[in-house]
Structure 1
Amino acid sequence: MTDTPKIHATAEVGSAQIGAGTSIWQNVVVLAGAKIGKDCNINAQCFVENDVVLGDRVTVKSGVYLWDGVHLQNDVFVGPNVTFTNDKFPRSKQYPEHFSKTVVCEGASIGGGAIILPGVRIERGAMVGAGAVVTKNVPPFAIVVGNPAQIVGYVSGSVTSGASTVVPATSPQLGSPVSVGVGAVKLHALKVVGDMRGDLSVGEIPTEIPFDVKRYFLVFNVPSTKTRGEHAHHQCHQFLICVKGSCSVVVDDGNHRAEVLLDTPGKGLHLPPLTWGIQYKYSKDAVLLVFASHAYDAKDYIRDYSEFTSVVKHHS
């Protein structure tokens, strides 16, 4: 890292708020109000307007225009020719009182040629595929592709290092649940009895379902492109069984993340409190049964991922 920014002779930089170690390459224009952090790399033929904020170690590849209201947090990657927009109803010589604020959070990446609509928030660690058209907020660590962009997966493994997904090494046996490597989340085996008159699955409390059940709910008729969950609980335990069809469950303890496929009534997944849970990839016939240790209480939900990580740190 150098002490001063490296600015190419052909660049026009009006801002004095450029962090140490930042490189600004050929034919880049940076207006006076822009704020650019340390060790950033802004490639050739880019434009940075006044109300633009870049954190540290941000990479902006060639042909990207950052308009007023675009904020890129630390370690964001923006691929070539990504198009940001800041006005939903633009007219020549007519300007809104305030431009929409678009935020790309820490560690997120945007592939080349993607289009980002005004006011969108791309959360921490998310991955936007090349050419995607992002019309709504992207959840933390989600992978989105297409037009309009849809969730097709989640970035796997360690929240901080991006290591490989932790999955159970062996299938669970009755009475011997298997850790999935994320906090105290465990995959349980449930007894399934086949019979010509119809199959039977049974789980006992507290052997297979390790808490007193106060509530249950069913999730069904979910379109395959939709995502459920995206929250954690302060106190409530949950136990998930896909009684018909299949769905995938992403679990996250603030440090590690894993994805578990529930595709038989013979498997149940225990999510203790302070586990961020997401369910997606529902088959057309999927029916997800969820047992809960507490009655519904809106105050027990944590629906913001940043708040979740803050609560986890406080408890650790």
Structure 2
Amino acid sequence: MGLERCRAIDLPIVHDPRGNLTFIESNRHVPFDIKRVYYLYDVPGGAERGGHAHKNLEQLLIAMSGSFDVILDDGLAKQTFSLNRSYRGLYIERLVWREIVNFSSGAVCMVLASDFYDETDYYRDYDEFIKAVRGTVPVG
């Protein structure tokens, strides 16, 4: 677990003069079964999203339109990824804190998730997250 498993994933592109097509298949292009899809849009200038980690959930974030930065933090190190291509996703492992910042005007962030929504899977308090990844709180 941690940042070493988080990575950019290039998705397949079917080139066509009428417009390109990209597709995503569970356990082929993403390392999990896709159980939920949601997207962020109309994010006001200067706003941030994320600000949490998941105990068990894995995700793939894609900039469907526009661009944004994702700051990942595993409790030991931080790394920033810039997303601005609809054929490139960012795989985020469980137990990695994420902040999504610097949304361009009209940006759309699509998220593919490995499980259904479950509020008990979230760490929303950074100090609680740090305690969990350092082994002082049960992960769940």
TM-score normalised over the length of structure 1: 0.41
SS of aligned partner of 1:216: strand
Gaps of 5+ in 1: 1-180
From 110, 114, 130, the equivalent of 1:289 is 110
1:190 corresponding residue in structure 2: 11
What do the CA deviations read for 1:54-78 (whole angstroms, capped 9, x no partner)?
A: xxxxxxxxxxxxxxxxxxxxxxxxx
2:123 corresponding residue in structure 1: 302
From 255, 266, 270, the equivalent of 2:87 is 266
1:196 Cα deviation from its structure 2 partner: 2.4
1:204 Cα deviation from its structure 2 partner: 2.2
Gaps of 5+ in 2: none
Distance 1:207 1:264 in 2: 20
Give the aligned residue type for 1:287.
V
Structure number with higher relative contact order (C-alpha < 8 Å, ≥ 6 residues apart) = 2
SS of aligned partner of 1:197: coil
Distance 2:62 2:11 in 1: 9
Q: How does 1:91-240 map to 2 (within 5 A)?
A: 182-240=3-61
Question: What is the aligned-residue RMSD (CA, Å)?
Answer: 1.4
TM-score normalised over the length of structure 2: 0.91
1:197 Cα deviation from its structure 2 partner: 1.6
Distance 1:287 1:216 in 2: 13
Residues 183, 253 of structure 1: 8 Å contact kept = no
Q: Could you say which structure has the higher strand fraction?
A: 2
Tell me the number of residue pairs that the alignment of Structure 1 and Structure 2 aligns.
135
Distance 2:50 2:91 in 1: 14
Q: Larger Cα Rg: Structure 1 or Structure 2?
A: 1
Q: Could you say which structure has the higher helix fraction?
A: 2
